[in-house]
Amino acid sequence: MRPVLTLLLCMLASAARPQQVFLQADTLVMRIGEHVGLSLGITLPNGGGEVEWPALGDTLAPHVELLRQEPVDTLTATDGAVQLVQRLLVTSFDTGFWAIPPMQFTLNGTALETAPLLIDVRGVQVDPGGTIRDISPLFEPPFDLVWWLRKHWLWFATGAMVLMAVVMLMRKWRRRPMSAPATVPMVTGPVHERFLKQLDEVEGQRLWQQGEHKAFHSRITDIVRGYLEERFKVPALERTTDDLLLELRTSPIAPDLQQQLANMLRLADLVKFAKAVPSATENERMLTGAREFIKATIPTNTESHG
C-alpha cells in the first residue's frame, strides 16, 4: 500500500506545477482485458522547438501492454501555443493497481518527464454462488414467415417469371398453324422441251443487254450441262470443260455437235474466268447454239421407248 501512496503523492506534486508534457488516460478504472486510450503529448508555448519523443516498447509498465500507437497530431491553441499529441491504446490482463512510470521528452536539449499514471484494473464479477454452469444453448428464434419471404422474394420472382415465359412459349407453339409438308414438283414433259423453255426464260431476262455477260453465259452453260446429265446420263455439272468433252467422245453425239458444244463451253469459260467481254453477235450465237444443240439431240422414238 505504501508504494501506491507514494505514487499518489508524486502525482499530486506534479499536478501542482504547470506541465509542458503530459500523459492522460480516458479512464483510470478498467476491467481486465478492456482497452483504454491514453494521450501522450507536449505543449510548445513558442510554437516550435526540437522535440525528442519517448521511446515506447511493447509494454508501458509491468502488466500494462501497448496495443497500438497512432500518428502524432498537431493542435494549435488560441494563445498560439502548439500541442503535439499521440494517442495510445493499452490493456491489462492482471487485476490490481498498475503504475505507468514517467515518460521522458527532450525539448531543445532539456529533459522533461510526464507525471506517473496509476490505473486500477478490476476483475469481472462472477456468480456469488461459485457454481460452474454449462454454456447456454443457442437461441433459435421462432419461424417468421414474413421475414422468410422478404429474404427469399428474389428467388420466387425469378421462378415466376421463368414459369410465365415457358407457359407463353408453349401456348404460342400450340397455336401456330401446322404447315403442310413441302411438295416437290413433279418433272413432267419431254426433257428437250423443259430445257428449251429455260433458254426462253434466259432470253426474256435480257442479261447480256444489261451488261451482265458473266451471268448470261453461266446460265446458258448450266442449262446445257443439265440437259446433258438428263439426256446422256453424264455428270456434266460436276466436270470441267475438258473432262466433259473427253467423256462425250464415246457418246452418240455427232462430232460436229461435239465441236459446237466445245466452242460454247470454252467461250463461256473465257467470260466467267478470264473476264472476257463478248460481242453482241457472240452472245446471240451462244443462245442460238444452245437451242440448236438441244434440238439436234432430241431423243428418237426408239430411244424414248427403249
For residue 34, what is its C-alpha cell?
A: 478492456
Q: How close are the terminal C-alpha atoms of the chain, in Å?
A: 139
**Would the pTM of this model clear 0.85, i.e. be above it?**
no
Q: What is the pLDDT of residue 3?
A: 46
CB–CB of 287/268 below 8 Å?
Answer: no
pLDDT at residue 186 in the model: 54
Q: What is the pLDDT of residues 167-179, one digit of tens each?
A: 999 888 887 665 5
Task: Output the pLDDT for position 70.
Answer: 93
Integer CA distances (angstroms), 234 to 243, 248, 250, 251, in order: 11, 8, 11, 10
Q: Which domains does the chain have, with CATH numbers?
A: 2-122 (2.60.40.10), 191-305 (no CATH)
Q: 275 exposed, middle or buried (CB, 10 Å; 0-12, 13-18, 19+)?
A: exposed
Spans of the chain, pLDDT less than 50: 1-18, 180-182, 184, 305-306
Distance CA 251, CA 89 (A): 110
CA pair distance 297, 257, nearest whole angstrom: 9
